[in-house]
């Protein structure tokens, strides 16, 4: 058995192509689809204002997430039990990617022709097939990475994912949705340039297929598992868990308690993050009166903060432990939301319908991106740390079941709150602040597992160049 662990950077980056495709699709989906639905519902229900249809938008976005909540654990468990010549994750990744890539460009096509039913059904098809892809794709990293190295590996995976998100964001800057909306009338959608809304979805589909093919030809699951079995065994001995995880044995009470607290805290931080994420495009268009390109730039700024956090988060965790790294990330994000709340009820009110996108929001998104990146790259490894190699897909499903439950509820909750006369757009950061505060409190109850003395290669030694 090897007496040290070193992260295979090359292999981890290639595995990251799976997450590249995931974030690429979701960035396009979340940036454009809520506005598509807003316009379609306004057209379907004449006399309804933008604010009055937001609860319908929230319900439709939540139904997609409900499907994900059901399907993610199913595909995770199925992939755990799958055994094929190309591996247990790869069949789901390939099928899910190609079906999603084919269906995805039909969403803006149906929107362009004012077809509510077609748009909603196609969105559902994309979400369901992406769930076939998402869980196995995410599980591939812990499958092929020893436990003590997973935070650093997750940082690399997330950087690759954000590169996918960056592609989507830059495309959104080129093809500006608000200009398309500003030049159409309800009865003449089909007479406007369809490529303004179609191009981002087509580009995403093509890049998704390319990323899946790179993954397929470069990562041979079964071969790699045989090569690294000694490293994986050493990783089990050095895991950050309360009680040692035994193969084919029930979880200990202490480990189960730790898992429950992590999943509950995760639920509330996703309530905050996805609540504002779902409605931020509409906040930009309908409250600030600014162009969607402003929100795209804001997304890039947040992505810069996230990439910095992804690069540093694993290093920080190796020094102070994963729990305190997550706590620090939640704290930074809480500060950013608090600044937004204060600004929202003071000078940001003057920005309403001004057409300007306030600079302070860019600063907030930079801090939020950095803080939540520390949370994300360490929380997922904390969950899969608590299971054996035979249950990684199942525990990945539990992680995403928690996030998808919150993503199912938060659009409905926030959309319904926006129906209240007293709850206006400026209350978005208040909602996020309350949810994240609850998450912070829950996470503080998680037992801090002391770091074991692990010999992990550093510097140039860490760059294992073997295929």
pLDDT at 460: 39
pLDDT at 462: 45
DSSP symbol at 243? S
| Other Cβ atoms closer than 10 A to 332 | 20
Backbone angles phi, psi at 341, to 5 degrees: -60, -50
Pairwise CA distance, residues 260 & 251, whole Å: 12
Angle at 356 between CA 350 and CA 362, to 5 degrees: 100
Element (H, E) at 226: helix 221-227
CB 147 within 8 A of CB 453: no
Angle at 292 between CA 99 and CA 169, to 5 degrees: 45
Q: Read off the tokens for 443.
A: 């996470």
Helical pair 428-443 and 392-417, crossing angle rounded to 10 deg: 150
Pairwise CA distance, residues 195 & 210, whole Å: 22
Pairwise CA distance, residues 248 & 454, whole Å: 25
Q: Read off the tokens for 265.
A: 């805290």
Angle at 303 between CA 298 and CA 307, to 5 degrees: 155
pLDDT at 461: 43
**Nearest one of 66, 55, 445, 64 to 261, comparing CA atoms:** 445
Beta partners for 456? 5
Pairwise CA distance, residues 271 & 414, whole Å: 10
Pairwise CA distance, residues 403 & 264, whole Å: 9
Element (H, E) at 344: helix 322-344
Pairwise CA distance, residues 164 & 26, whole Å: 9
From first CA to last CA, the distance across the chain in angstroms is: 19
- DSSP letter string over 192-215? S-THHHHHHHHHHHHHHHHHHHHH
User: Which stretches of 45-149 are DSSP H helices?
Assistant: 54-80, 90-103, 106-112, 116-143
CB within 8 Å of 32: residues ≥ 6 apart: 108, 172, 177, 197, 200, 201, 281
pLDDT at 223: 93
pLDDT at 182: 60
Angle at 436 between CA 435 and CA 441, to 5 degrees: 105
Beta partners for 5? 456
pLDDT at 355: 72
DSSP symbol at 250? P
DSSP symbol at 117? H
Considering the entire predicted model, what is its pTM?
Answer: 0.76
- C-alpha atoms less than 13 angstroms from C-alpha of 15 in its C-beta half-sphere: 28
**pLDDT in tens for each of the 467 residues of the chain?**
445 788 899 999 999 888 888 888 888 888 788 888 988 898 888 888 777 887 788 788 777 777 777 888 888 889 999 999 999 999 999 999 999 999 999 999 999 888 999 999 999 899 888 888 888 888 899 999 988 888 888 888 888 887 887 777 777 666 666 566 665 554 555 556 777 788 889 888 998 999 999 999 999 999 999 999 888 888 878 776 776 777 767 888 888 999 999 999 999 999 999 888 878 877 887 778 877 777 778 888 888 898 899 889 888 988 888 899 999 999 999 999 999 999 888 877 777 777 778 888 899 999 999 999 999 999 988 998 888 888 888 888 899 889 888 888 888 888 888 888 888 888 888 999 999 999 999 999 988 766 555 555 544 344 444 44
pLDDT at 440: 97
DSSP symbol at 5? B
Maximal C-alpha separation, the chain: 71
CB within 8 Å of 422: residues ≥ 6 apart: none
């Amino acid at each position: 058995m090897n007496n040290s662990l070193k992260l295979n950077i090359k292999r981890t980056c290639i595995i990251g192509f799976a997450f590249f495709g995931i974030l690429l699709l979701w960035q396009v989906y979340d940036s454009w689809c809520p506005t598509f639905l807003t316009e379609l519902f306004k057209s379907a229900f004449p006399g309804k204002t933008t604010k009055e249809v937001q609860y319908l938008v929230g319900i439709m976005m939540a139904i997609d997430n409900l499907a994900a909540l059901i399907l993610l654990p199913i595909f995770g468990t199925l992939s755990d039990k799958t055994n094929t010549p190309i591996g247990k994750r790869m069949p789901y990744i390939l099928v899910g990617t190609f079906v999603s890539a084919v269906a995805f460009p039909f969403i803006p096509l149906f929107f362009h022709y004012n077809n509510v039913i077609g748009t909603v059904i196609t969105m559902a098809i994309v979400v369901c097939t992406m769930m076939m892809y998402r869980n196995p794709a995410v599980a591939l990293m812990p499958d092929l990475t020893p436990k003590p190295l997973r935070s650093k590996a997750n940082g690399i995976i997330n950087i690759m994912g954000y590169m996918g998100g960056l592609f989507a964001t830059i495309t959104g800057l080129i093809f500006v949705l608000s200009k398309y909306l500003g030049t159409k009338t309800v009865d003449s959608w089909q007479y406007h340039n369809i490529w303004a809304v179609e191009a981002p979805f087509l580009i995403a589909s093509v890049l998704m297929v390319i990323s899946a093919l790179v993954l397929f030809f470069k990562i041979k699951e079964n071969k790699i598992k045989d090569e690294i079995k000694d490293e994986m065994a050493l990783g089990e001995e050095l895991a950050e868990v309360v009680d040692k995880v035994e193969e084919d044995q029930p979880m200990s009470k202490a480990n189960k308690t730790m898992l429950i607290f992590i999943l509950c805290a995760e639920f509330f931080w996703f309530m905050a993050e996805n609540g504002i994420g779902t409605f931020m495009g509409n906040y930009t268009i309908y409250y600030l009166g600014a162009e969607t390109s402003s929100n795209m730039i804001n997304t890039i700024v947040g992505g810069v903060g996230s990439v910095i956090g992804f690069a540093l988060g694993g290093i920080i965790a190796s020094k102070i432990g994963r729990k305190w790294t997550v706590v620090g990330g939640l704290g930074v994000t809480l500060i950013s939301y608090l600044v937004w709340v204060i600004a929202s009820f003071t000078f940001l009110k003057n920005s309403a319908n001004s057409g300007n996108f306030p600079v302070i929001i860019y600063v907030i998104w930079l801090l939020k991106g950095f803080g939540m990146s520390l949370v994300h790259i360490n929380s997922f490894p904390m969950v899969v740390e608590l299971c054996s190699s035979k249950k990684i897909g199942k525990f990945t499903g539990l992680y995403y079941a928690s996030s998808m439950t919150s993503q199912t509820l938060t659009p409905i909750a926030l959309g319904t709150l926006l129906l209240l006369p007293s709850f206006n757009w400026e209350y978005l950061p208040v909602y996020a602040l309350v949810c994240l505060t609850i998450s912070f409190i829950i996470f503080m109850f998680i037992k801090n597992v002391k770091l074991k003395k692990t010999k992990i290669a550093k510097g140039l030694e860490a760059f294992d160049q073997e295929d």
